[in-house]
């Protein structure tokens, strides 16, 4: 592979989100949260959710990780705000399929489609999916729970 492929992975949008992650803050009035970590590389993050009925009123995250995991989490929070839980679930499934190389209609992913380059780098798929798995855990539980992507 060449540097062009590296640029497929490290696209401008991804680099931008890595440098300036959006919704990167603790949410004191969150009513759902979950911890996610990847023991293999030490990535660790918390996803905070504030649900109003079944609408995601606010979503944020905190933690540390590589460019792929931070930018994926950042883009996830942007994509989810104002969505219903059912819409979030659909998006979660789509993202998961995209990362694992299944055929999907990438137009339905919007900006999240920039992460599609990750599937060419199997060792990095878990970096990109960590925040989504953690989100899923947060959606499912009102308690603070932990997930691991190792």
Using the rule CB under 8 A, give the single segment among 5-13, 49-57, 85-93, 108-116 that binds other proteins: 5-13
Report the C-alpha gap between 19 and 23 in whole angstroms: 13
123 lies in the binding site for other proteins (CB under 8 A) = yes
Tell me the closest approach of the beta carbon of residue 48 to other proteins, in angstroms: 21
State yes or no: residue 86 binds other proteins (CB under 8 A): no
Q: In 3D, which of 11, 147, 134 has the Cα closest to residue 73?
A: 134
Q: Does 138 bind other proteins (CB under 8 A)?
A: no
Stretch near other proteins under the rule CB under 8 A, chosen from 26-34, 106-114, 120-128, 129-137: 120-128
Residue 45 β-bridge partners: 36, 63
Q: Which residues contact 49 (CB under 8 A, 6 or more apart)?
A: 27, 30, 31, 32, 33, 56, 58, 59, 135, 138, 139
Interface pick for other proteins out of 17, 36, 48, 65 (rule CB under 8 A): 65
Minimum distance from residue 145 beta carbon to other proteins (Å): 22
Task: Name the residue with tokens 């979503």.
Answer: 59
Q: Are 100 and 122 in contact (CB under 8 A)?
A: no
Q: Note the residues at the interface with other proteins (CB under 8 A).
A: 1-3, 5-7, 9-10, 15, 40-44, 64-68, 70, 121, 123-124, 127
């Amino acid at each position: 592979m060449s540097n062009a492929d590296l640029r497929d992975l490290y696209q401008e949008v991804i680099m931008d989100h890595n440098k300036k992650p959006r919704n990167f803050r603790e949410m004191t009035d969150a009513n759902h949260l979950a911890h996610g970590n990847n023991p293999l590389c030490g990535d660790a993050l918390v996803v905070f959710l504030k649900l109003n009925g079944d609408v995601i009123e606010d979503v944020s995250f905190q933690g540390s990780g590589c460019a792929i995991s931070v930018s994926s989490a950042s883009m996830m929070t942007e994509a989810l705000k104002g969505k219903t839980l059912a819409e979030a679930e659909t998006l979660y499934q789509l993202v998961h399929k995209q990362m694992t190389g299944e055929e999907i209609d990438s137009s339905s992913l919007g900006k999240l489609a920039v992460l599609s380059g990750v599937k060419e780098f199997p060792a990095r798929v878990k970096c990109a999916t960590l925040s989504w798995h953690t989100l899923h855990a947060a959606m499912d539980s009102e308690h603070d729970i932990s997930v691991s992507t190792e």
